[in-house]
Structure 1
Amino acid sequence: MAPIIGKAKAAVDISIAYLTGIRHLFHRPYTLRFPQQRYAVEKGYRGRHLLHLDRCTGCGICAWICPEKCITIVPRGQRWYPQYFYGRCCFCHFCVTPDTLVSTNPSVSPIIQIQPGDRVLTHTGHYRRVRRVLTRNYSGRLYSIKPLGTPFLLRVTQDHPLLVSSRNI
């Protein structure tokens, strides 16, 4: 009696599998044929940021300014580096440095040199013209600091937090 029940259960399971397969023949696919079809992204999405560890000074300002607190500074060997938790990131790009390279048509330029009218690569994979560059007006005194290991000057206000360490690290 037991072998008959086992065979009947196997036949039912096989029938369910076949019916499921036939039913899915008439449904739209759940995946996109990338790159022929593009993903729809939310308005304002600027893409994932990349961390170049060879240019990171480990100062921790990116972790301090992050509104979602998804960046933590962790030790790696003798140095400190940022670690990202992308599940919490809102992609505000406050952590992007001025020397971050942006793909412009036909080359790349640091983000600080982008001006209105320049064509830059967007999250959709197409080049579009920059309409305006967002800046913050500040009338107080600015201090210029040359951080060790970076090619650019850091211009900060008197209220800007700075993490300072000895050169003998």
Structure 2
Amino acid sequence: MADRVCVGAIAGAFGVKGEVRLKSFCAIPEDIASYGELFTEDGARAFTVEISRPVKNGLAVRLNGIATKEQADALKGVRLMADRHRMPELPEDEFYHADLIGLEVRDTGGNLLGTVRAVQEFGAGDMLEIHGPGLKTTVLLPFTREAVPTVDIASGRIVADPPEGLFE
């Protein structure tokens, strides 16, 4: 799946004529329609996206092959993936969430803290969900320059300077 990036999720049917409510994960929500075909996570289905209009909590869109409310309802919760080569290049200090998941996390002394399991967005900034040896539960590390001074995608690691007591 490294060659695809999650760009949105279907929240369910919108109306009775096959439109779906789509939650876009793009910085500019409408950009989701510019990445060509979007694929389900398993790659079994592909859709072209035609935006009808913005709606509360997303976009009303038409997906090719979806013509009824029942077909649209059946897609609720499906995450849509775009081919990575269609995605724009990011500035040096920005990252796609998919690139962070699975990276090893070490503290500034080189001690292994764990690996990134997910990136959570709670509105006040991204949080890295870290799971690792000796942790009873996952730890949420703020994804800020202070807490995460180094992200090295090429070497598969993050250097973290977590707030005191976070990993105890």
Higher helix share: 1
Calculate the TM-score normalised by the size of structure 2.
0.29
Give TM-score, length-normalised by structure 1. Answer: 0.29
Structure index of larger Rg: 1
